[in-house]
Amino acid sequence: MKTRVELWIHGEVTPVIEKEVRDLTKINTPNERGIKINRDEIDDSLLIIRFNSYSGKSGELAEQIMKSYSLYLDKYSDIAIGFETRKKGIDKSTDGITKKEVLDKIGEFYRLLDDKNWAQLQLLFLDKIEYLECQEGARITNEIGKKTSSNRYLNQKEKRLQGVITNHTLKEVRLSKRYGLIACEVDYLIQETVEDCEKENISMGKQEFRMQSIAGELKISKI
């Protein structure tokens, strides 16, 4: 029985690389016409190649596929392989999610944060999330993400911002994609004003998000 394969390649995407990828993929499929190569909607540096492989065990097929690309691995920053079998399909939970949807979700997060609309913010998160602690506005080096409820995380956020008016301006958003997850890195300018006080502070900040699609809706799973 043939196995449906999805090959993800991260790296600089050029017409030359696209041709190389197609030529290399032909080695691994009996049906060249069935090869589908697309640049991802969200991650511009991601090529997704789908094809039917020859029959065989997934472990042996993976080794064979990686071997066929071995001479070119230095050109790609990351290669991942997924197999679709009768028991379990390929994870396509982020298929169909557009870049605009992700950017809109990020913009909504900061708008609700500045409005201190904690109830609506809660709806953007999964019930259980992973977060990284911060120290003096910077992430702690090599800090392992901690698990908590999104409700508890937002309660802590609310306490820290009590009496502080914030205004975020997004400067740059970088998106990338892995199986089932969308990674977002946001650079922003934040203006903070203490209520009943004329003191104002303006600084640059950085925030990392991980999002996943649940029943077609983007939710924050890591922050």
Could you tell me the domains of the chain? 4-84 (3.30.70.260), 99-222 (3.10.450.50)
* Residues written for the chain: 223
- pLDDT per residue as tens digits for the range 102-144: 999 999 999 999 999 999 999 999 999 988 755 444 444 444 5
CA dist., res. 199 & res. 58, Å (int): 62
* Residue 135: per-residue pLDDT: 43
Rounded to whole angstroms, the Cα distance separating 23 from 109 reads: 43
Alpha-carbon gap, residue 165 to 181, rounded angstroms: 32
d(CA 55, CA 2): 5
Range among 7-11, 79-83, 162-166, 194-198 with highest mean pLDDT value? 162-166
Distance CA 73, CA 50 (A): 19
Averaged pLDDT for residues 148-154: 92
- Average of pLDDT values for 160-186? 87
The CA-based dihedral angle spanning residues 33, 34, 38, 40, taken in that order and rounded to the nearest 10 degrees: 180
34's CB contacts (< 8 A; 6+ apart) are: 51, 52
- Binned at pLDDT 50, 70 and 90, residue 74 comes out as low
The pTM (predicted TM-score) of the whole model is 0.69
* Position with higher pLDDT, 55 vs 78: 55
The per-residue b/e assignment along 203-212, b for 16 or more CB within 10 angstroms, e otherwise, is eeeebebbbb
DSSP secondary structure letter of residue 140: P
For the sheet with 181-194, list strands across it: 146-149, 125-131, 217-222, 200-214, 181-194, 164-178
Structure confidence at residue 180 (pLDDT): 66
Give the residue carrying structure tokens 């944060």. Answer: 113
